[in-house]
Structure 1
Amino acid sequence: MNSFWGKPTSTVDWCEKNYEVSYYIAEFFNTLSSLCLICAGIFGFIMHSKGFDHRFKLGFGTIIFIGIGSIIFHGTLLYPFEHFDGTPMVFYLLILFYSINENKKERKYGNWFPIVLFLWGLIFSIMLIVLGKYYENQIIKLVEFYIFQGSFLLMAVYVYLRVIAIVINLKNEKGIVALMIRGTIIFLIGYIGWNIDYHFCSEMNNILNPQLHAWWHVTASYSCYSLHIIVIFDRSKILGKNPKIKWVCIILPYVGLSDESEQNLPTKVMSSAERKLIVQEVSVKD
């Protein structure tokens, strides 16, 4: 194979034909679509940089790293780089897991909880890296792949069910239910495409490959971002910050806190009136 990175050694070689578009990029469309994750993370980080807990900025940063890792993995299809794609996903779920369990004003589990979660993620990452030395062994490859998928799936299901509970509790809040439904539908469409791409690759390549795994990156980035927004909204609501779901071009949601101009308007008017009164008093005295 005439390619920059050589023969693929990853656990899974996706349906996109390798090095068909570029000599330097193994899976061009899968790599390009990973930019959606980076963009979603950057947008979320910028829009929630002030007035929100640092945990959420860390979550958006993790989404950015998922996108970077996905680019490295799909761009090379080398097994050692497969960790760059999977490990950030685990830490992103750990952040969500922490956020939905520690969403009250007072900590429920104390300082040990985030430490334990971080250590679990660290140990899991080290396990992936250590087993990576034996990537020539097909059995080790499969065991590692299914251990990762199994742990990821269990954690993802738990987080999703807890987010559903949050949405039910906030059903009267404008935009929350619609955001959850939209994110879920988009995720399901992408996940169906992921499975079609994985299981019916030869059939698609015989007709026309629609690059469904690349579209999965687009849908997954939107769904992950949407879950994060709902958790942020719930936390802000509990803290009494009067959050609202706002939209950019009716597509990109974000959590907006009480309008600062509206909050400060009475103060500004009062201050202006007071200044005028002071000026009048000074003029009379003069």
Structure 2
Amino acid sequence: MAANLLSRLPSIPYGQPKEGKWSPVTSTLNWCEEDYVMTVWAAEIVNTTTNFLFMWLAARGIRNCLSNGHDRIFLIAYIGYLLVGTGSFFFHMTLKYPMQLVDELSMIYTTSLMVYATCTHRTSASWRISLAVFLFLLDASVTAYYHYLQDPTFHQVAYAALTAFVFFRSLYVMEVNIRPKFRSEERKAAIPRPSNGVKAVQERQDDRDYEILRKMWKMIACGLGIFLGGFAMWQLDIIFCSTLVRWRRNVGLPWGILLEGHGWWHLMTGIGAYFYVQWNIWLRYCLNFRQDDVKLMWPQITDMPLVVRQTKPYANGRGSGNQNGSAKKNA
């Protein structure tokens, strides 16, 4: 029905696939977008240009980390996020195997950084070193085996497993350390309950934390929903590729661009990943008992959330502290 409606609008006919500046294709993957139809300079122009959102959100995240003194691991994660978008840009532009490796393996490396960030908070130096060595060896093994196997399914399974781990680990850490009824012993020691019967102080802390959890769950629902929506669009693009190609040609340009499922995957997963890192930045402050040092800037659901400092950071990235105390960084 949508294709029929679009076909009634003014449009430009699609051209025929042709040789491009980067021909021949050497990647082990080729997506549903027809190659070199709109320009000879990019094999898949829609899949190429949709990565600009990745790059813009990465730059926004990098600037946010630098201007607010967030933990260094999140700055590195956003740099990795920028590498993912840039690698995907060049992969879809050229459809060359080396660019495919840059695109896909940077996804593994960036997710491994988030594994490190999620699993090393308030841990010993020996544990952090051991985990870093393990993740390095894991990533090296995935790289070597994927290059040997050249099976995209292996990469997709590895990426999905790492992503699922960091997501559910972050959920567990959030609930156990922020929700008042699950208060950890460490938190009880850092923020003792008032012993003089001032119940209002306890209630005020609990209300603050419940409000933080409410906003965090809203961020999670939005980010995860957008991410999974992008995955669904990608799968539809794979399953119904021949039908979608026919529809695109029927409706012409620019309307056919709306039927590029892998392009929607780029846009939606880029937004979902951005939400995830911002959530973890905020979560890290809460784990350091510094909830009052930051606030979430998210005026409406259509905006990109941003965690900003309410206190001026010192040169080394630490805040000025508050009644909840401050904690030493681990990354």
What residue is the counterpart of 2:296 in the other structure? 245
Considering only aligned residues, what root-mean-square deviation do their CA atoms show, in Å?
2.3
> Structure 1 residues 105-114 or 191-200, which shifts more?
105-114
TM-score, reference length from structure 2: 0.70
Contact 1:183–1:223 at 8 Å: present in 2 too? yes
Counterpart residue identity of residue 310, structure 2: S
What residue is the counterpart of 2:246 in the other structure? 206
Aligned pair partner of 2:154 in 137, 141, 147: 147
What residue is the counterpart of 2:60 in the other structure? 43
Task: Provide the C-alpha distance between the structure 1 equivalents of 2:19 and 2:309, rounded to a whole number of angstroms.
Answer: 54
Q: Which runs of 5+ in 2 are unaligned?
A: 1-17, 180-209, 249-255, 314-318, 321-331
Aligned pair partner of 1:232 in 278, 281, 286: 281
Counterpart residue identity of residue 244, structure 1: K
TM-score, reference length from structure 1: 0.81
Task: Provide the C-alpha distance between the structure 1 equivalents of 2:128 and 2:35, rounded to a whole number of angstroms.
Answer: 49
* Residues 95 and 56 of structure 1: CA distance in aligned 2, closer, same or farther (over 3 Å): same
The structure that has the greater radius of gyration is 1
Contact 2:51–2:86 at 8 Å: present in 1 too? yes
Superposition pairs for residues 157-196 of structure 1, below 5 Å? 157-169=164-176, 170=178, 172=210, 173=212, 175-196=215-236
> Structure 1 residues 57-66 or 92-101, which shifts more?
92-101
Task: Provide the C-alpha distance between the structure 2 equivalents of 1:90 and 1:153, rounded to a whole number of angstroms.
Answer: 9
What residue is the counterpart of 2:133 in the other structure? 115
SS of the aligned residue for 2:42 comes to coil
Superposition pairs for residues 1-286 of structure 1, below 5 Å? 1-49=18-66, 50-104=68-122, 109-129=127-147, 131=148, 140-141=149-150, 144-169=151-176, 170=178, 172=210, 173=212, 175-208=215-248, 209=256, 210-242=259-291, 243-247=294-298, 251-260=303-312
Contact 2:146–2:154 at 8 Å: present in 1 too? no
SS of the aligned residue for 2:46 comes to helix
Task: Provide the C-alpha distance between the structure 1 equivalents of 2:31 and 2:25, rounded to a whole number of angstroms.
Answer: 11
Work out the percentage of aligned pairs sharing the same amino acid: 22
What residue is the counterpart of 2:186 in the other structure? none
Counterpart residue identity of residue 246, structure 1: M
SS of the aligned residue for 1:255 comes to strand
SS of the aligned residue for 1:175 comes to helix
Task: Provide the C-alpha distance between the structure 2 equivalents of 1:244 and 1:105, rounded to a whole number of angstroms.
Answer: 26
Aligned residues: 252
Task: Provide the C-alpha distance between the structure 1 equivalents of 2:166 and 2:309, rounded to a whole number of angstroms.
Answer: 24
Q: Which has the higher contact order (CA 8 A, sep 6+)?
A: 2
Task: Provide the C-alpha distance between the structure 1 equivalents of 2:146 and 2:76, rounded to a whole number of angstroms.
Answer: 22
